[in-house]
Amino acid sequence: MPTPTHSQSSIPEQLLSLAGDFTRFTDSLSALTVSVADSNAALHRQIEEAQQLADAASTLSNRMAGLRLYRSTRYIAAMARIRQLGQLALDAVDHLYALDQVLDHARNKTPRPDGEPPLSELAALSSASGRLRLARDLTALGGLDAARAAEAAAQELHRQQHGPVPAAVQLSERQQDLLHAVGEGTVTYFQAGPAAVARYAGEPVSLNNLRALEARGFLVREPSQRVPVAQRCYLTATGRAALAATFVPSRPAPEMAPRVSPRPAMSRATGR
């Protein structure tokens, strides 16, 4: 289910939340299996979640459009991409609904809407697999695209001095890169017996940095629906705020007033 967006969080943070929801949705589609024999309750949940994703993307693009900003090319592109993600989620709804109808007609041996006889079980499953693959492909880049739109929006809001400047977040360069990767939905943690490894786009990730971010409450690990022994890393609300802060120059720490040393007493010279 898509993460609720809170009105007090910034637009970039809400976009990062949407990115996580797209990643979860695509993972769950990858793990989905369908059958002619049952009612496919999991499929029905996926249809509902795809509709919720579409609604969330539409709401966010409208919020972006409602800000009193100069519409730079970069901001327009970010806003348009979120609107497109909403449409892609709606297209995924259409494919999943059509998939459900194909299975339903094959299960009940009823003619298809075009009057043609129902497909055989094998043909129905083949058609369903194609629809499922299309739905997954439509939303596969949603996490990455929404995260990059968040960065573009944050930088444009900062350039136009819209909203408060985020406070600095102390992160090493590698921790910051890792936080970005988590925001894009590309970090996975594997636990096989006593051994553990984390990967980003197939490359090893420092477990020390991953656990340091986790200890600060920036990320959580959730069971991967794609790989049984894996966990996908997601940003928490605190992590989304921290990542959004790295997109722009942070507010400097307040300067301390210079400490004035007491002036030494002048000794009066004495003459002979």
pLDDT in tens, 13-53: 999 999 999 999 999 998 888 888 877 889 999 999 999 99
CA distances from 236 to 75, 92, 104, 141, 144 (A): 25, 26, 39, 20, 17
pLDDT the model gives residue 2? 58
More reliable by pLDDT, 161 or 219: 219
Residue type, 101: Q
pLDDT, one tens digit per residue, over 167-195 is: 778 999 999 999 999 999 999 998 776 66
Task: Report whether pLDDT(266) > 50.
Answer: no
pLDDT at 262 over 50: no
pLDDT at 10 (0 to 100): 92
Q: Is it the case that residue 127 has pLDDT exceeding 60?
A: yes
Q: Classify strands 187-192 and 230-235 as parallel, antiparallel or unpaired.
A: antiparallel
Beta carbons within 8 Å of 87's beta carbon, 6+ residues apart: 54
Which residues are CB-neighbours of 107 under 8 A, at least 6 positions away? 36, 37
**b/e per residue, 73-104, with b = 16+ CB within 10 A?**
eebeebbebbbebbebbbbbbebbbbbbebbe
Using pLDDT thresholds of 50, 70 and 90, give the confidence band for residue 88. Answer: very high
